[in-house]
Each structure stands twice: as structure tokens, then as C-alpha cells.
């Protein structure tokens, strides 16, 4: 998670070993073993994050 303190945006990043059903042609046969994607939110106000940390991840 990246919270931009100067603006009103939050970015969440994820890594997964599950691939999209319809792979782009340029990905096929490359031997990739993970997929990373980000969700970018703008206009965020009053953000409150709870239950996020190393102890919750285990």
C-alpha cells in the first residue's frame, strides 16, 4: 500500500501466481511464474486502515 500524503491517492499492489485467463500473446511461452498488478484510487478522503501488519499476514 502506498498512501500519497501530498495528494488524495492510494495505490494497492498485489503479487499472485494466478494468471489472467486470456494471456496477452507476448506473455505466452515466456516462462513467467508470477503476476503483479496495482489498483490506483484517487479522490480518497477519510482513509482509515486497521488490521494491516505483519502479525495479520501470518
Q: pLDDT for 13-24, tens place per residue?
A: 999 898 888 888
Q: Which residues contact 54 (CB under 8 A, 6 or more apart)?
A: none
Tracing cell 495505490 back to the chain, one arrives at 11
Q: Is the pTM here over 0.75, yes or no?
A: no
Q: Alpha-carbon distance 22 to 32, whole Å?
A: 14
Residues 1-58 pLDDT 10s: 888 878 889 999 999 898 888 888 988 888 888 889 999 999 999 888 888 776 655 5
For the chain, percent helix, then strand, then coil, each to nearest 5?
Answer: 10, 30, 55
Contact 1, 49 (CB under 8 A): yes
Amino acid at each position: 500500500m502506498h498512501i500519497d500524503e501530498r495528494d488524495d491517492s492510494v495505490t494497492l499492489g498485489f503479487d499472485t501466481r494466478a494468471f489472467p485467463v486470456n494471456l496477452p500473446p507476448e506473455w505466452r511461452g515466456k516462462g513467467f511464474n508470477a503476476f503483479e498488478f496495482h489498483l490506483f484510487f484517487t479522490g480518497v478522503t477519510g482513509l482509515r486502515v486497521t488490521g494491516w501488519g505483519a502479525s495479520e499476514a501470518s
